[in-house]
Amino acid sequence: MKIILQTPRLLLREIELSDTEAMFELNSDPEVMKYTGDVSFESLEQTKNFIQNYPDYKKNGFGRNAVILKETGEFLGWCGLKKLPDGTVDMGYRFLKQHWNKGYATESAKAMIDFGFNHYGLTEIIGNAAIENYPSIRVFEKLGMSYANTRDYDGLGRAVLYNIVKEKWKT
């Protein structure tokens, strides 16, 4: 198990094969997937293949990470950084429905942004959300990210772009 970082309640680690069933549940829920622009996993085998072939850790040194509740060891969802084709680095998160509205997205994303700036040497981190995805937009705002623009984006349709630069980051 490769632990990336910890918060008071959470452990963030690389996604591993033991997460297959939970990742399948997460990416099969229509409500969870509603604003992602991603296609749901169709089977456990497809989920397993995704995990086994996830290239971001080796390619970029970072990626999306499993978010685990320290108290119970339960998989809650994922949160992490992703280098996009244009070279920008995106903060993303996705949680199982039963774990919404508990502050896990904000807590894990704040830790990942701090880690991105202070460990990976990033100077800017962005976040994209479907224009109707008010909960994700609210997380961006809680993180101190600023609205940059509205645009069509990668399967999301109309989306808002938020960003934060290292100089304005407050830990």
User: Each residue of 39-53: pLDDT tens digit?
Assistant: 889 999 999 999 999
> Which residue range(s) make up the domain with 143?
3-168
Contact (CB, 8 A) for 108 and 79? yes
Question: Taking the chain, what is the end-to-end CA distance rounded to the nearest angstrom?
Answer: 27
For position 38, what pLDDT does the model report? 87
Give the mean pLDDT of 87-97: 96
Query: Cα-flanking dihedrals φ and ψ of residue 62, to 5°?
Result: -155, 170
Q: Give how many domains the chain has, as a whole number.
A: 1
In the chain, pLDDT over 90 holds for what percent of residues?
Answer: 87
Q: What is the pLDDT, as a whole number, of residue 37?
A: 83
Q: Is 4 helix (H, G, I), strand (E, B) or coil?
A: strand
Rounded to two decimals, what is the model's pTM? Answer: 0.94
pLDDT at position 171 is 66
CATH code of 123's domain: 3.40.630.30
At residue 70, does pLDDT exceed 90?
A: yes
C-alpha 41/C-alpha 7 separation (Å) is 29
- DSSP 8-state code for residue 38: P
Average of per-residue pLDDT values in the chain: 94
**Confidence at residue 158, expressed as pLDDT on a 0 to 100 scale:** 86
Token duo for residue 112? 């990942």
pLDDT 10s digits, 150-164: 988 777 788 999 999
3-state secondary structure of 7: coil
- Tell me the residue ranges of DSSP E strands in the chain: 3-6, 10-14, 64-69, 75-83, 89-95, 124-130, 146-153, 157-165
pLDDT band at 10 (very low <50, low <70, confident <90, very high): very high
> For the packed helices 104-118 and 134-142, what is the interaxial angle rounded to 10 degrees?
50
Q: Do 63 and 4 contact (CB within 8 A), yes or no?
A: no
